[in-house]
Structure 1
Amino acid sequence: MPGNRLGKGLTMESTQKKSGDSRVNRGDRIKQIFALVSMVSFGGSAIFGIVSLFGSGLSSQHQQKPTAVAVSQESLLAAKERGYVTVLQREPQNQTALEGLANVRLQMNNRVGAIEPLEKLVKLHPDRADYKVLLGEAKGKK
Structure 2
Amino acid sequence: MTLKRDSWLVRGVLILAVAAFVAVPVLFAFNGRSSSQQANPSQTQTAADQATKLQGQIDGYTAVLEREPENETALIGLIEAKIALGDLEGTVEPLERLANLRPETPEYAIALAQTKQQLGDLEGAAQVYRRVLTQTPGSVPALEGLVALLISQERSEAAIGLLQDTLTTADQTNELTPGSIDKLSVKLLLGQVYVEQQNYDQALKIYDEAIADAQSATPTQPDFRPTLAKALVLQEQGKTTEATALFDQALALTPTQYKDGVQQLIDEKTGATPTAPSPSGDAAGESPDEAEAPAAE
Point out the structure with max Rg over C-alpha.
Answer: 1
The structure, 1 or 2, with the larger RCO (C-alpha pairs under 8 Å, 6+ apart) is 2
Structure having the larger proportion of residues in helix: 1
Q: Tell me the TM-score normalized by structure 1.
A: 0.49
